[in-house]
Structure 1
Amino acid sequence: MGTEGDDFRVIAGRYRLETRLGRGGMGVVWRATDQLLGRRVAVKELAQDDSLSDDEARLHRDRTLREARAVAQLSHPHIIVVHDVVEEGERPYIVMELIDGSSLADRISAHGPVDAAEAARIGIDLLSALRTAHAAGVLHRDIKPANVLVESGTDRVVLTDFGIAQVAGATTLTETGSFVGSPEYTAPERMSGAATGPESDLWSLGVLLCAVLSGESPFRRDSLGGILHAVVAAEIRPPAQAEPLLPVVRGLLERDPDRRLDAREAERMLRAFRETGRTPQPGAASGGRTPRLVAGRTPKPPVPYSPTQRDVPAPATVEQPQARHSARGVLVAALLVAAMAGAGVSAAALLLNRGGGAGGGDTPSSSAPHTTASASPTPTPTGSPSASPTASPSTAANTRTAPSGYRTAQDPAGFSLAVPEDFTRSPQGERVFYLSPGGTFRLGIKVADPEPGGPLAVMRRSAAEGPGNNPGYHDGRVTRTTHAGQPAALWEFTWDGFSAAEGPRHTYDLCWEENGRMYDVWVSAPVGKVREAREYFDVAVDTFVPS
């Protein structure tokens, strides 16, 4: 898997693994030396799951590498720096900044809880980090004291293990590629298997503030069932030590994510406490949440569609809000999890794949089998109904299993992939789109002949044309990556949308070559729904098969 030299293993020809710093559900973290640059680094050696098939292992590895590369694009003093992502012997390694210090969990264990002023400082730093990550479409999904490092000498707070953290132990629910997190710190909507966004990270931060102030989470119980009941149904009782920061804690621990305090307002309130010793109430004008659209912003006129754009104009229909799981429904699922866990049933699979009821199956599970079914045709933005094709028995061998809540579309353009059950096919010239009701989410696919320079050059040319094709284009970045073992390029950017009513959007776009053809798959969504968009994007890419 590597080379031996001076009793140390060297990977990727440059990183010498020297001392094991720790072990968790995701693998081993090493203190290492970058022999090329002569600097100390931390290297996470990701564990391999022997229960996965070769295809599943490859998809999981590709997704892990994509997420790590996304985190590597983040630049913030309170976010761990990812220097490199490499493979050795088909095993991924993530090369990170080496922090000389300990975790916040270890600090509390050794020295006890912190006071309100220190908790506010920690909260401010983490909120600032989350705002940067969320703006880039990256969620953490496992915020807890063990994933926060405190640098010795400077007390700098550093958030680590973005998006890929899994831990072992009786109070952790994990399932490869679908559920990541620790129940004591997991938001109620994630417990229910509903699609989640930045608000879920903010709930976890509220729990973390309680833990650093009192020494433990307010949802700690003696059993998994007790934890799940406490999170989704029991009265929330912040510890007495949280009294100075109670408006922030209560705002973050709001079970309805639509009413939960947002990061900007929570940071403002904590800064006010640091300056005055008193925590103000959430801003009355926004109900504690920062409006998504900036007041006074000059709307840009709609831009006509052109074949070079990666999106389509929004239809005139208004999207109906998605129904949320009721507290009773969440509680039933939680109690079922507790009952079935003792019988050897995967708790995460039960939470994420339960059927029936509004919103069931919103969160995909890449390992769950799903029987494809044709959705009822719905009008497309072009005005003519178009039923999305589904796999037939004769084509099933050329497709990958669709996760729960998805169906496999065998597209006449020469490919198959899994799309959400309510997405409708809408061809647009050389591109094929699958659109959610109302066109809020837009999944696009293009099949073409290879172009000079390969996928990386194609994405860079598209990025150069981004400002002309996407109003308000900003924060665009192109990253070299791989897909299906072939060179690929990932392009991400944010833009203003085609109208003021539509609002800002974020786009993920992956391009690669396979079997003499070039494939381009992208998903566009409102910036407030980037987590759902990333899931649709990952499932589309992971299940894509050329015909």
Structure 2
Amino acid sequence: MARASSFTAPSARARALEAPRSRRRRRPRARARARGFADDDVDVGTSLTSPSGEKFQLLERLGAGSSAVTYRARCESNGADVALKTLTLRGRGRSTNGGFKAVELFERECATLRALDFERVPEYVDSFTLDSEFDRRYVLVQRLAVGRNLEDKVGEGWRPTEREAREILRQLLETLEYTSSLRPPVVHRDVKPANVVIDDDGERVFLVDFGGAAAAAIDSDSFGSTVVGTFGYMAPETLMGGSSPKSDQYGVGATVLFLLSGRPPSGFKTERLKVNFDEVYIEDRRLRSVLERLLEPSPEDRFRTPREALDALNSAATPMVSGRNFRGRSDDVVERTPTVPIYAPEPLAPRGSPKPKTMVTELVRDAGNSVSIAIPPSGANGDVLYKAFFGITWTAITGLWTAGVLASGAWLMALFSLPFWKVGADLSGEVVRSFVAKGDVFIDRENYRVACEGGGMKFIDKVGETADLEGCFVRPDGLIYIKREDDTMVPILASLSRREAEYIASEINAHLDDCKR
């Protein structure tokens, strides 16, 4: 099929400014090129004719972004259904600057797709421009990815199994392996559920909408001036214009987390910029391990390549997933020789653990009847003081940056500081909780209650039937949680030594064993 025009040089701004003079000199030709479209009449039922004479009948509107509209169209020469994306310089509601930026992104997408040849990226078909008397329309044609995007499927109630989520992760990583192997590598920059399409059989996964794709050679000309992405699925470094192939790893991890939890990553708490999804029970240890590392906030702590992530997903062993953000104790890590990977132990469900000589908690167990635990505030220990110092510094820097941006009049740019304010608020909340929060756990033969409150605030208040509890576990970092039979977890917020945590979990498990007899 003919490729009528290539979006390369001159620049979009230069061509757009020159277009009116050109049309005044060659108005008959401009009208001839615009056969099949009028400025305000392009919608379902109309057709667009490329300069080569190929006609595309618009059948269905698939979606609309901030600048472009995508249709399902039919190529009249062979009857094939295609995805047709169209953008006009005089788009409704956009300023002239916005129009130029939209054209830049559109041209980048066309240039990128023209160079891609992979089974899970819809094939590039054609791209061209159509001129009318007062406007220019940009058109991109691709093979249609038949299926539904993951965001819509989850919104309709679909809940994939871990096996299905694992297969989606595998195919997305294989796509990243291809895009990162190109020279220069291609960075999608907006991997999210809405841009991942799965076919009706649930067997093939497609990555679509390369509008924010950043081929290094193209992006270098604009000095990384375009920030593209979706909050929650966008890697932290993207906010600073530092996208790399590892940035797409973050988007893939966030997408699979959304599938397993039904919640966007922005709905989870963060610790040092890292998404904390401990409350999501994932039985497959390798899957959880890979997700943990894909979602590392620092790109240096993610996998070096998508192939390394695939190997970890398929390996028989589960690698330790935390990198430089790991703050575990020395006795929580199994030492190996340098040639052998280091592995993190599984959470323990201790039984019969000895009572430590010193304890900060008060525990009373009435054998066979109940167990009650009172946990005082942790106070100003080293970890809390570190969080307080880090939180104050973080908030001060964020405040100075935001004030500078607002002073310059860039109100829209100031919105990019919201995720950083959220991190500062989370850190402040953790510090306040350490000083005022008191934990209270009570479990009898019929019911249980886990609460954490103080200073007029209630951090946790979970109640239910004791019969629904499966056991109490201790993670390698010392966090205690009670697992319910529906695989959800109830955390017990406390800053305890490993020995004391294991003793408390052991006493809770002993009581639960008594209740089951």
**TM-score, normalization by structure 2:** 0.49
Task: Say which one has the larger Rg.
Answer: 2
**Greater helix share, 1 or 2?**
2
